[in-house]
Amino acid sequence: MNVTFRPLAAFACLAAFVAGGTAIAQAQGTPQTTPKRGGTAVVGVSVASATLNTQLTSAVTPLIIADIWASGLFKYDKTGAKKPQIASSWEISPDGKVYTFHLRPNLKWSDGKPFSSADVAFTLNAFAKYNTYLVKVLPNIDRAETPDANTFVVHLKEPQSAALEAFDKEIFPLMPKHVYDGTDIPTNAANRAPVGLGPFRFVKWEEGRGITFERNEHYWEQGKPYLDSVVTVFIPAVQQQQNALYRGEIDVLRPALPQVGRTIEQAKAKGAFEVREIKVNAAERLSLDVNITREIFNKPLVRQALLVAIDRARISKDVYQGLAFPAMNAIPEQFAMLTDPSVDYNKQFAYDPARAGKMLDEAGYPLKDGKRFTMDFAGSVNADAFYAEPGAQIIAANWRAIGIDVKLSLLEAQLWSNKVFKERNYDVSMSSLTARTDPLFGVDRSFLCNATNVPFVNPTGYCSKELDEVAAKAAAVPLEQRRQWYKQYEEIVARDMPHLTLTNARKFFAISTRFGGIEEEMDLAFNGNPSMANVWVK
């Protein structure tokens, strides 16, 4: 095993031993079908950043790890249907303003301290202001109440069709009041040594190597998990991740899309792991924020020209190996009941360098000595961003071809975040954004007025009262009425174009066949990841 991701050699030996035992059982014709306790799973991830608390970050690695240690009121099965978790049931008042959650009684946190509705209320009141997905929901929350230890009630100021989705496990992982109350939340040590309600409890973080979790004896779903422990190992390079999977050194991996084709081939050849596509996935879209407070970029025609100049089909083919496609408009195709295909970037803003040049001429930026203007183009090169450098290079080359002097800077994730969201000191920025379960969470944040510096929330300076009003109506009306409002939403964005949506990607997981319970474990949708609560070593 490569030294970069070998936190504990014993786990590699254990994996080999268990895999060998599986082979013998199958050879004897007596495969195990009854879950048993014991064993370790090794999950491959990229290097984690400063925090594991996904109330504070939406980076991919912490999100994958969070499903191991955290839990929420509910989650989603592979069809996108809601599955009760900490909340056993819930109801919405007839006027759509009151949400009542009935919590499972007598639960405990992973440190053994009692859990109650006060923890849920605290999570909302203390963490929502830091949460990139809740900044557009929080202003509509009037108050939260805890009439008893097992009941949590949220009162909205106005109805919102998708408000319930704000409380799923991925957007709203529950946090312990007794750990965070009275502290500075962003710097609390628990952000790196979390206390949660998930199937495994945090044990230790070995810097640069990995994180060890062991069975949470207080897990709400008694009898699970079956495994003794889960180790997440840090593997920074995509090819290293793949090699570790092929050699059986890790059991679970979300493969980078350029590697999925080869991963599927290896899975068929070896039979040691299988690859599952998450069919109901949250749209993950390569996107560009344009700083419209800069004089050059304050004309919509300039911003539209930037989109027309980009060969999005090439990005989909070369960067994502065909496992992404050019996005149609501001509302993702996954929201089939909401998006209106009459607004289609692939027709309105099809790749056409000559047309893009004429648009910039019309906007007042003709070629002078072979150049139109200079642009600062910033991107993040965190370990999960396989798309960053190749995608940015294609985009930069496209823009240079029409006379834009592109100064490309690919920055470490925190430096990029500070530059774009905190300092707003950039011209154009690239990132991959998830649309979550509804436009209210993953789309509105890129377009609606924003006075905060919360990461991944509109840093462009764009603020349209017209769009904000349309978005509010789209979120408030019943499902069957929402598309008409989102059509207006799409039209306004296409006209103003402060944020350029480029591609829409698919999602896959690879998981070892040495486990039983794979079907239940991979019963996932949207941004869900394996929790390892359901698998057991054959």
> In the structure, what pLDDT confidence band is assigned to residue 373 with cuts at 50, 70 and 90?
very high
Residues 446, 99: Cα–Cα separation, whole Å: 27
Q: How much of the chain exceeds pLDDT 90, in percent?
A: 88
Average pLDDT, the chain: 92
As a whole number, mean pLDDT of residues 521-532 equals 96
Among left, alpha and beta (phi > 0; psi -120 to 50; other), residue 351 is beta
> In the structure, what pLDDT confidence band is assigned to residue 161 with cuts at 50, 70 and 90?
confident
Q: Which residues contact 339 (CB under 8 A, 6 or more apart)?
A: 328, 329, 331, 332, 333, 483, 486, 490
Are 287 and 435 spatial neighbours (Cβ–Cβ below 8 Å)?
Answer: no
What are 204's strand-pairing partners? Answer: 212
Query: C-alpha angle with apex 444: 522 to 82, nearest 5 degrees?
Result: 30
| Element (DSSP H or E) covering residue 102 | strand 98-103
Are 528 and 170 spatial neighbours (Cβ–Cβ below 8 Å)?
Answer: yes
Answer positive or negative: Cα dihedral of 167, 172, 173, 178: negative
Domain with CATH 3.40.190.10 in the chain: 3-26+38-70+198-280+507-537
Residues 177-216 pLDDT 10s: 999 999 999 999 999 999 999 999 999 999 999 999 999 9
As a whole number, mean pLDDT of residues 256-261 equals 94
Are 343 and 494 spatial neighbours (Cβ–Cβ below 8 Å)?
Answer: yes
As a whole number, mean pLDDT of residues 303-319 equals 98
Here the tokens at position 532 are 């390892």
Here the tokens at position 97 are 């303003």
Domain with CATH 3.10.105.10 in the chain: 284-505
Residues 439-475 pLDDT 10s: 999 999 999 999 999 999 999 999 999 999 999 999 9
Instruction: Identify the CA nearest to 535 among candidates 508, 510, 515, 514.
Output: 515
Domain with CATH 3.90.76.10 in the chain: 74-180
As a whole number, mean pLDDT of residues 279-297 equals 97
Beta strand 428-434 with 252-253: parallel, antiparallel or unpaired? Answer: unpaired
Q: Given a cut of 70, is residue 23 above it in pLDDT? A: no
How many Cα atoms occupy the beta-carbon half-sphere of 273 within 13 Å?
A: 29
The pLDDT value recorded for residue 32 is 64
As a whole number, mean pLDDT of residues 285-302 equals 98
Q: Given a cut of 50, is residue 21 above it in pLDDT? A: no
> In the structure, what pLDDT confidence band is assigned to residue 20 with cuts at 50, 70 and 90?
very low
As a whole number, mean pLDDT of residues 261-279 equals 95
Question: Alpha carbon 318 to chain centroid distance?
Answer: 22
The pLDDT value recorded for residue 383 is 67
The pLDDT value recorded for residue 31 is 60
Residues 71-97 pLDDT 10s: 999 999 999 999 999 999 999 999 999
Predicted TM-score (pTM) of the model is 0.87
35-50 exposure pattern, b = at least 16 Cβ within 10 A, e = fewer: beeebbbbbbbbbbbe
As a whole number, mean pLDDT of residues 327-335 equals 97
> In the structure, what pLDDT confidence band is assigned to residue 311 with cuts at 50, 70 and 90?
very high
How many Cα atoms occupy the beta-carbon half-sphere of 202 within 13 Å?
A: 23
According to CATH, the superfamily of the domain at 284-505 is Dipeptide-binding Protein; Domain 3 (3.10.105.10)
> In the structure, what pLDDT confidence band is assigned to residue 8 with cuts at 50, 70 and 90?
very low
Residue with tokens 């008694």: 222
Q: Given a cut of 70, is residue 5 above it in pLDDT? A: no
What CATH number does the domain located at 74-180 have?
A: 3.90.76.10
Indicate the range of 128-137, 175-184, 512-521 predicted with least confidence.
128-137
As a whole number, mean pLDDT of residues 289-298 equals 98
Q: 3-26+38-70+198-280+507-537: which CATH number, 3.40.630.30, 2.40.40.20, 3.40.190.10, 3.40.50.1580?
A: 3.40.190.10
As a whole number, mean pLDDT of residues 372-377 equals 98
- DSSP assignment of 143-198 equals EEEEEETTEEEEEESS--TTGGGGGBTTT-----HHHHTTS-GGG-GGGTS---SS
Q: Position 33: which residue type?
A: T
The pLDDT value recorded for residue 3 is 29
DSSP state of 99: E
Question: Alpha carbon 9 to chain centroid distance?
Answer: 31
> In the structure, what pLDDT confidence band is assigned to residue 385 with cuts at 50, 70 and 90?
confident
For residue 225, say if its preceding peptide bond is cis, omega within 30 degrees of 0. yes
Give SS3 for 505. Answer: strand
Q: Which residues contact 28 (CB under 8 A, 6 or more apart)?
A: none
